[in-house]
Chains A and B, each alone.
Chain A
Amino acid sequence: MNVTVDGEPQPARAGQTVAALLLAAARVSWRDTRAGGRPRGLFCGIGVCFDCLVVVNGIPDVRACQRVVADGDEIRTQHGAELPEARS
């Protein structure tokens, strides 16, 4: 599968969650908070806490622990509260 994290190609396997892929890539955080700019990553791991948000294919606020990677996914760090990228 062709998956990138912040522009860099990253090995991915079928059924892997975005959070597992990021942790396997030695990333422990992939978001910073809106007010304090503090790093966040996985917390509850089961879709409850919304801490592990990440941008996938231009769409922000995707829970990395719930989203399963798909071929072609472009995953990137989320900075604070983001709006979806304009679609052409």
Chain B
Amino acid sequence: MTRRVVVVGAGPAGVSAALAAADAGAQVTLVDSAPTVGGQFHRQPAGAGPDKVPGGSRLVEHPRVRLLTDTVVWTVEPLHSGHLVHVRTGQADGPGRHGEALTADALVLATGAYDRALPFPGWDLPGVVTAGAAQALAKGQGIAIGDRVLVAGTGPFLLPVAQSLVGVGAQVVEVLEANGGIRGWTPSALVAGRGKLAELAGYARLLATHRVPYRTRRTVIAAHGEDRVTSVTTAALDREWRVKPGTERRLPVDAVCVGFGFTPQLELAVSARCELVDGFVEVTPTQETSVPGVFAAGELTGIGGADLAAAEGTIAGACAAGQAIPEAALRKARRGRTFAAGLANAYPVRPGWRTWPADDTLVCRCEEVTLGALRTAARERDALGVRSLKLTSRVGLGLCQGRVCGRNAAELAAGYTGGHYDPSDTARRPIAAPLRLGELAEDPEKENT
């Protein structure tokens, strides 16, 4: 019987996985919440066809690929052999979405990652957004988040974001890299990432042309304004990311974009009971997770960028369809991982960020839990794990289900009590996407139509 492979996420990893599995003879369903393929990296202007995305045209024309866009996976249910993937298709968060349950002999998770934002006074003001938000708005909608924009955080992703902002007419007042920039790259990362150096040089030229200062070991430590951001305070950081007193500077801006690396979108992998290592999904050389028949590719297995994600996707797709590991993809993946390890080394998040928020700074934006409330829960109410921390302070209990604050709250609390707070505990979300009660109440038999 033809193997049925369900691929979740149509970014670089998912598109490659779907093509590899379909080419190997499997019947593939590729699911993505966006209206078109590409994911975050290959995001296209609204209404653009799939032909701009690598593999996109071949994908939509492939006789063995069914593409389900505007579709969310809300839970994954284990079967005796394989999994049942519950999806809903239709307008985002709208009524009248259509439900379906997809049977997967093999499942490829390629759900990607999102920006990590660290809390600082004023980070909840409108106009303060993640770097990814500014990028998605610029690339997908052709508009700038503001006229005078500060970009701050860590990692090479800040540079294409600044480029996109300039491209849609914003003035980027500064790009602040909290680490040491390219000086932190190890020789092996430089070799493995030599293809990236030309790209970086291009960004450097662009910043120079537009007179955008790029400063290292500096970041935004406060955003000011009444009902929106109107200015920021930036400051120099020491190697542990503590603020160097006396280096504070105030700048007028109308938007701030922050990104301190990425957090993998883990909930489906966690629901499927895949083992994690250091916050990422553990995989074998075939990209199979600890759960037989469940594969993971791309940022879920480690932050490494689009090329590595695509290589892992090709391996995962082929192996999910029952083939041997494609050697060329395996070589690419190995090189990509060396580069990724170098990046992780050069752009870490240093513990000194925990000194940035004030007592009244929100840690959990959804439930409006301040740092002071979190500390009280951890210290005085003996919340010695993520679960008790949530129940005593409500941190992570809101609509985002700890996606934004989970890791930050775990690290802050560990600093207060020395207790063990496993950040992956905050990724337990059996309902992976919000569902209206009427949808949940629907007769499940209807879902197989």
Contacts and interface: CB of A to CB of B under 8 A. Distances in A.
Interface string A41-62: 1111111111101001001011
B92 A47 contact: yes
Contacts, number: 121
Nearest to A20: B141
Interface residues of B, number: 43
B195 interface: no
A53 to B, nearest CB: 7
A20 B47 CA distance: 14
A15 interface: yes
A86 interface: no
A67 B91 contact: yes
B130 A43 contact: yes
A68 B34 CA distance: 10
B134 A49 contact: no
* B contact face: mostly helix, strand, loop, or mixed: loop
A59 B137 contact: no
Contact of B399 (A16, A24, A41, A53): A53
Output the residue of B33, B91, B115, B399 with the most chain A CB within 10 A. B91
Q: Could you say which interface size class chain A belongs to?
A: 35 or more
Interface string B399-424: 11001100000000000000000000
Interface string A11-47: 0001111011001100011000111101111111111
B327 to A, nearest CB: 34
Given A49-B130, A61-B434, 8 more contacts: A16-B46, A33-B368, A42-B133, A43-B404, A48-B114, A50-B398, A61-B399, A67-B94
Closest 7 CB pairs of A and B: A45-B133, A15-B46, A66-B92, A50-B399, A20-B141, A15-B47, A29-B126
9 contacts: A28-B127, A39-B126, A40-B126, A42-B126, A45-B130, A45-B134, A47-B33, A56-B94, A59-B93
